[in-house]
Amino acid sequence: MDDGIVTTVSSNGTYSFTKPNRESITLLAGLGVDGDVHAGVTVKHRSRVAQDPTQPNLRQVHLIHAELFDEVAEAGFAVAPGDLGENVTTRGVDLLALPTGTRLHLGAEAVVEITGLRNPCAQIDGFRHGLLKQVVGRDADGALVRKAGIMGIVLTGGEVRPGDPVRVELPAEPHRPLERV
């Protein structure tokens, strides 16, 4: 069963906050998005490299739900796919509600295993002042809610294009909620 669709794919070979949209991206097993600055076996995000450059890269692919852009637009923020640095933008899948270890089948071949939540950083306010408050909130119990997407590793490579189906494969129970990675 197809649970959603890929609306946009993005990648960037150089460090910048945003990523240009592409006609397609190629996911490489164990590495990430071919040609993307964050691809690799070990961490590539600058803050993580500074802490320990030998850490495994649990952030090979960044996915955001297009519904987030709808939500922030209601608060007056114009944010387009790729603007927040994601590689894959989806619609129709509640990415933030999925448990750790969920496998997302993207298109005909690619499989990404979800490792956790993206931890929104101050760069988001550098992109659009005040936007960070829109992508970080509190739930009814006061717990921090991170809405800036999820991160994953590539289990099976393949080409991913806008319009491709997204099929969700939940892991065995008990399910573990997503935590920041």
CB-facing half-sphere around the CA of 40: CA atoms within 13 A:
15
Q: What is the pLDDT of residue 123?
A: 87
Q: Give pLDDT tens digits along the chain (181 positions).
A: 458 999 999 999 998 889 999 999 999 999 999 999 999 998 877 777 788 888 899 999 999 999 999 999 999 999 999 999 999 999 999 999 999 999 999 999 999 999 999 988 888 988 999 999 999 988 899 888 999 999 999 999 999 999 999 999 999 999 999 999 9
Measured CA to CA, the distance from residue 47 to residue 134 in angstroms comes to 22
- Structural domains of the chain, ranges and CATH numbers in brackets: 4-169 (2.40.33.20)
Judged by phi (left if over 0) then psi (alpha if -120 to 50, else beta), residue 150 lies in beta
Q: What is the pLDDT of residue 17?
A: 87
Q: What angle do CA 116, 117, 122 make, to 5 degrees?
A: 145
